[in-house]
Amino acid sequence: MTASAWSRRTALPRARTRRAVGLVFLLALLLSAAPAAAHGYIVRSIPDNRAVLERAPARLQYWFSESLEAAFSSVTVRDQAGHVIATGGVSGDNAALLSVRLPNDLPDGAYVAELRIAFASDGHVVTDTRLFFVGAAVGNLEGSGATTQADPLEVLWRGLTLAATLLLLGTFSLYALVLLPAWGNPKYAAGLLPPRVMRRLSLIIAGALAAALLGNITAIIQQAMVLFNAGPGQVIEQNLWSIARAGTRFGDLWNARVLLLALVAGLYGLSLYFRDEQPGLVRPTWTASAWAMALVIGTFSAGSHAAGSPLLPWVGVFVDWIHALAVGLWAGGLGVLALVLPVALQPYAGDDRRAALLAVLPRFSRLAVVCVVIVVTTGVYSSLNWINRPADLTQTAFGGALALKLVLVAGLLLVALAHHIALRPEQYTRWQGIVRRVQGFVPTLRLEALLALLVIGAVGLLSASPVPVPPLPDDVPPPPGGMQAVDDTAVAVMLTPGGPGVNTYDVRVTRGGQPLEGANVRVQWVNPARDWRSRWTVAEDAGGGLYIAAGAEIDRAGEWWMLVDVSASDTRRAAFAWDIRTEAAIRQSRDPSGLNLLALLGVAAALAWAAYPFARRVYRRLDLNAANVTIVLGVIGATVLFSIIGVVVIQNTQAQYQATLNPPPAVVNPTLPDAASLARGQAAFAACEWSGADWQALVERLPRTRDETLFAAARDGWRSLPPCAGLDDAQRWDVVNYVRSREG
């Protein structure tokens, strides 16, 4: 029995449980890292860029495809003379909304909004300028648009840390999956490989750890430089890097990464320190380090573009992680092979050298083939996250970086193919020329490793470049607004963005042509189709006759009424009716296209194919007698069935609860309760002769009484209150609106 067969039989069961535990731990930890999400972009702005407005809006609002770092994002508005007229930041109600309130009555002219946006997921900082004109557009004023170039220092640290991280994963996984099974020999106690090989591997680990540390230090300094718009000296002297580290999402991921790297360095140190007394410690510590390195790569994916994708971010992060893991096993392994083989083969020549080579290379090649299939399928999926049309590839910084990467990948795959052929000469008899050319393997392995390094350099550029902005819907309805004059009072309202979800409402009130300040302005939302109304919200007096509020009352499309009561010496009612459309809602996500789903299927097929040998081994060990199979299938069936029943029951209960809470009304109020309806209602109310205790009781329960009930009361009477005589339905609805206005 050979030494390696011996080491495999004894070590295997222990290794498998360790792997299973490691995998569960890994998945749990990665799932705990919330997506974040990466370079984002503006999905909606009110006003639109370069909009020409009759009058200045109450505020500027910019919705982004993902959350922003509030401490590092701002908007500064300047007039055409360059004076700062307002500054704003991230809204308290919506972390993806940057807004600034404007002073009242801005004169006609051009205004520039300078946006500084720090995206929460990866800390990328983008500056952008947007213009709007009050009155008329002004000459050749141009906004500078969003920054599109990658920061060279970021490209550098991303390339360096990625290369070092992938090399570390490559070292530990190649050691466990290829070198040990191929060359493992119990006579070498410390690590089961010849000391010269272990020394070279240790050197690679030490070098890669140092490079990873250097890269991560550069990362946090570069991040603080862009967040604080400061130079490296200032960042270090004023300790700005530790604010970026402690106070941002980028910092969270950085901390996790450095912690894990410290763990790996600790394990490595442990294996070195005890290699003479406890030689058996080398293998488990290195195998554990491989798992820790997979987590380090997870921190990159959790902060990668994929995390901010509008398309299934969780799936995007997972696919990016699998992509980078497969790259680590393949390209990382390749780098280690290119560095270790010269040392490992040194004592050998001729057939011995070839035998030692062929003990390792076919094993690595099998692993590499699986990794290449996974890398390509996951790479295609990740690309389709952002490349939605040819122009995204040809006309954006991201597309350019991806194209550069793909050219290098093509070269890499060609060399890999040549190695694949050379290792199976009997299968490729027609390609003997290639077999002869690469038969030494070491020089061409170096070339392949170099190409892989260049690809990772291109990845540094790719992940530092802003993503292409996907095609945004162009059928977005303008934000609903309106103006109503009630006697001497004019009420102008604007609802933004004006779709289902969180909205801001600006109410501008003038009396006798002058801004009405210090009034009590209340807003209520009514969904007549469901006879549902919100509580009254008191709008905040922003001065200059502007009153503002925000809320998520509008939870679906359809007809909605906005009631505005302005109380100063007396109360004036304005009412607006809008058809709220889903298109107006801010969409931060998009549905997968057929191509996305196909690419996902490709990833699933590649993973199933890769897992097949393991599944088959597990399957063979299973005792598939009829009883076991029936029990297993029964349990699976029951779990699925009960989950489906559970979901259906919950949904039904919720629907029933909603239907009990708010049953569809038998009759729907067709009359907007504006000032005219209240006046008509007040006149018609004379016909009701409602007074006394029951009238009092009705008024008290108005907040929880539906219009259909009031309508029935006007038509049929209510308790001792008689029906309102001689009214038609339209008058009854006016009475309903008038009675409701008596609420409170």
In the complex, the residues that contact ligand HEM under the rule CB under 6 A are: 162, 300-301, 304-306, 320, 323-324, 327, 331, 375-376, 379-380, 382-383, 402, 409, 412, 452, 455-456, 459, 462-463
> Is the Cβ of residue 86 or residue 296 nearer to ligand HEM in the bound state?
296
Q: Tell the smallest beta-carbon distance from residue 253 to ligand HEM (Å).
A: 11
> Is the Cβ of residue 190 or residue 260 nearer to ligand HEM in the bound state?
260
Lookup: tokens for 432 = 């003997």
Lookup: tokens for 490 = 């004019």
What Cα–Cα distance (Å) separates residue 730 from each residue in 220, 305, 508, 736?
A: 68, 57, 31, 10
> Is the Cβ of residue 304 or residue 709 nearer to ligand HEM in the bound state?
304
Q: Tell the smallest beta-carbon distance from residue 165 to ligand HEM (Å).
A: 8
Q: How many angstroms separate the CA atoms of 171 and 286, rounded? A: 9
Q: What are phi and psi of 53, to 5 degrees?
A: -110, 145
Q: Tell the smallest beta-carbon distance from residue 33 to ligand HEM (Å).
A: 13
Query: Do 449 and 429 contact (CB within 8 A), yes or no?
Result: no
> Is the Cβ of residue 423 or residue 464 nearer to ligand HEM in the bound state?
464
Query: Do 461 and 404 contact (CB within 8 A), yes or no?
Result: yes
Q: Tell the smallest beta-carbon distance from residue 123 to ligand HEM (Å).
A: 13
DSSP string computed for 45-79: EESPTTEEESS--SEEEEEESS-B-GGG-EEEEEE
Q: Tell the smallest beta-carbon distance from residue 22 to ligand HEM (Å).
A: 21
Find how far residue 222's CA is from the centre of its chain. 22
Contacts of 342-351 with C-beta under 8 Å, sequence gap 24+, read 342/442, 343/196, 343/197, 343/199, 343/200, 344/183, 344/194, 344/196, 344/197, 344/200, 345/442, 346/196
Q: Tell the smallest beta-carbon distance from residue 353 to ligand HEM (Å).
A: 28
What Cα–Cα distance (Å) separates residue 1 from each residue in 7, 9, 194, 508?
A: 10, 11, 19, 90
Pick left, alpha or beta for residue 109 (phi over 0 → left; psi -120 to 50 → alpha; otherwise beta).
left
> Is the Cβ of residue 198 or residue 412 nearer to ligand HEM in the bound state?
412
Q: Tell the smallest beta-carbon distance from residue 102 to ligand HEM (Å).
A: 36
> Is the Cβ of residue 261 or residue 452 nearer to ligand HEM in the bound state?
452
Q: How many angstroms separate the CA atoms of 402 and 412, rounded? A: 15
DSSP class of residue 500? S
Residues in the chain: 744
> Is the Cβ of residue 154 or residue 707 nearer to ligand HEM in the bound state?
154
Q: Tell the smallest beta-carbon distance from residue 662 to ligand HEM (Å).
A: 44
Lookup: tokens for 307 = 């995390």
Q: Tell the smallest beta-carbon distance from residue 291 to ligand HEM (Å).
A: 18
Angle between helices 249-273 and 282-302 (to 10 degrees): 170
> Is the Cβ of residue 393 or residue 494 nearer to ligand HEM in the bound state?
393
> Is the Cβ of residue 163 or residue 494 nearer to ligand HEM in the bound state?
163
Q: Which residue is nearest to ligand HEM (CB)?
A: 379
